[in-house]
Amino acid sequence: MKQYTHYLLLTLCSITLSSIHARAQGPPIYTDTPILLGLEGSGVRTFGKFVNKDKANIYVQPFIFPYNITPKVLVGVLVPFINKNPENLSSRFGLGDMAVFVKRTIFQKDGKAKTFRVVGKIKQSFPTGNTTEIPALGSDSYQTLLGVVTGYITTKIGLYSELAYNVTSNGLSDNFVYNFAVGYPLLRQQYPAKQVNLYLELNGNYLLDPDSNILFISPGIQWIAGRRVLIESGLQLPLVEQVADTQKTNYILTLGARVLLF
Amino acid sequence: MNTLKVNAYKFLILILFSLVFYIPLIAQQENQSKTYIQIRVDGLSCPFCAYGLEKKLKKIDGVANIHIALEEGVVEMNVPTKKKPSEDDINKVVTDAGFTPREIKFSETPFKADNDNP
């Protein structure tokens, strides 16, 4: 698997560097975007996430509903459904930990066909997932994530970053989330869009207690099918995984869609 | 005297004919008179995000033929002349959509790169 990862990394880096003059973009698949939906803009995002581990298969289907209450403030709700299939145990399906979030544009510098934006983000998760039976569907912990999402998006390249600190309760380790993404389209930039975008992302999660790091490389492809519909898929492969062998992830496959409602 | 009467009737008929046929035509022409608007918008770098701008622009009364050229950062559209929005109205719509409005031009004729389909 690691050999494939290196080939994939090399290929995607080559494509990224050779396409530096290509056109950009859409929102990244795993890294958050600093571009909000505009006043009273709303949408729904959902994706199926298939997590393959040594001792279990997990399927997560979150539904995310963002809504812009002012031109610079977006609020949203995240409702995840989880199906866990551990080895030697019966599988379980149900609601995971729900969350609400707020994003606010704190800096915006626009130019001709380019923008640089910084967004502050707060996400509050609630322990709504059942933990009384094994396997647990929730974390049994209130979690507050404070983060900053940055993006420099021009017609030539799109660079995104997301840095966030997640404060947990109930004995769980706090963690630091770090995501970076670069994206470019394969087709000519136009609106309404019939566009295919490629992404290369690094998605990291550093746990503070005990010190451990998880880092995925995440190539992805995105098809903007029209004004309001976007379909995307990505594969996350572990580059660094400092966790117990039984907890190790082989890969995460994601297939999803975003629809702008109004 | 009779000839004068006949001529007066003819004149009246002509006036009525004009009123019946020409006034609606003039009114129709007035209705069809368009104002073309070109807006330079900064920050347009994402096709999926441009939907928010188009959606907001569509709320302007009478607006039609919205064309967004992402790479040029230019939006063109037209409205019936009698419903021409003010620059402040347009600025607010663009700002609400999350972008930065720059130069706004009004014209009675289509702009050079206008994609207006009559």
The enclosing domain of A159 has a CATH number of: 2.40.128
pLDDT grade for A243, boundaries at 50, 70 and 90: confident
* Closest among A258, A235, A201 to A49, alpha carbons compared: A235
Residues in A touching B71 (Cβ below 8 Å): 23, 113, 155, 189
pLDDT of residue A66: 94
User: Which of A259 and A253 is assigned the larger pLDDT?
Assistant: A253
B113-B116-B118 Cα angle (round to 5): 145
Is the pLDDT reported for residue A151 higher than 80?
A: yes
pLDDT grade for A129, boundaries at 50, 70 and 90: very high
Is the pLDDT reported for residue A217 higher than 80?
A: yes
Distance linking the first and last C-alpha atoms of chain A: 43
Mean pLDDT over residues A15-31, rounded? 57
Between CA A106 and CA B79 the distance in angstroms is 35
pLDDT grade for B45, boundaries at 50, 70 and 90: confident
| Partner-chain contact B56 A224, CB within 8 Å | no
User: Which of A18 and B87 is assigned the larger pLDDT?
Assistant: B87
User: Which of A120 and A37 is assigned the larger pLDDT?
Assistant: A120
Interface predicted TM-score (ipTM)? 0.79
pLDDT of residue B7: 79
Please state which CATH number belongs to domain B34-107.
Answer: 3.30.70.100
Other Cβ atoms within 10 Å of A173 Cβ, number: 13
The phi and psi torsions of A157 (rounded to 5 degrees) equal -160, 150
Q: pLDDT by residue (tens digit) across A167-183?
A: 999 999 999 999 999 99
CA atoms within 13 A on the CB side of A233: 5
Domain that holds residue A109: 2-223+234-260
* Share of residues in chain B with pLDDT > 70 (%): 80
Reading the block at residue A78, the tokens are 């995240």
Residues in B touching A23 (Cβ below 8 Å): 71
- Give A223's contacts (C-beta < 8 A, 6+ positions apart): A195, A196, A197, A230, A231, A232
Return the residue matching tokens 């994601």: A254
Reading the block at residue B96, the tokens are 């609400």
Paired residues of A144 in beta bridges? A124, A167
Helix, strand or coil, per DSSP, at residue B43: coil
CA distance B44 to chain A (A): 5
DSSP string, A107-155: EEEEETTEEEEEEEEEEEE---S--SSSS-SS-SS-EEEEEEEEEEEES
Is the pLDDT reported for residue B28 higher than 70?
A: no
Count of positions (residues) in chain A:
262
User: For residue A225, which amino acid is it?
Assistant: A
pLDDT grade for A189, boundaries at 50, 70 and 90: confident
Mean pLDDT over residues A211-220, rounded? 96
Q: Name the DSSP letter for residue B64.
A: E
CA distance B55 to chain A (A): 8
Is the pLDDT reported for residue A18 higher than 80?
A: no
Is the pLDDT reported for residue A26 higher than 50?
A: yes
Chain A residues within 8 Å of chain B (Cβ atoms): 23-27, 35-39, 41, 68, 71-72, 105, 108, 110-115, 153-155, 158, 189-193, 195, 224, 227-228, 230, 258, 260, 262
Nearest to A115 among B45, B55, B96 (CB): B45
Nearest CA in chain B to A111: B42
Position A229 in a domain: no
The CA dihedral of A217, A91, A101, B49, to the nearest 10 degrees, is: 50
pLDDT of residue B27: 55
Do A260 and A41 touch, CB atoms closer than 8 A? yes
User: Which of A49 and B19 is assigned the larger pLDDT?
Assistant: A49
Position A228 in a domain: no
Is the pLDDT reported for residue B117 higher than 60?
A: no
CA distance A255 to chain B (A): 18
How many domains does chain A divide into? 1
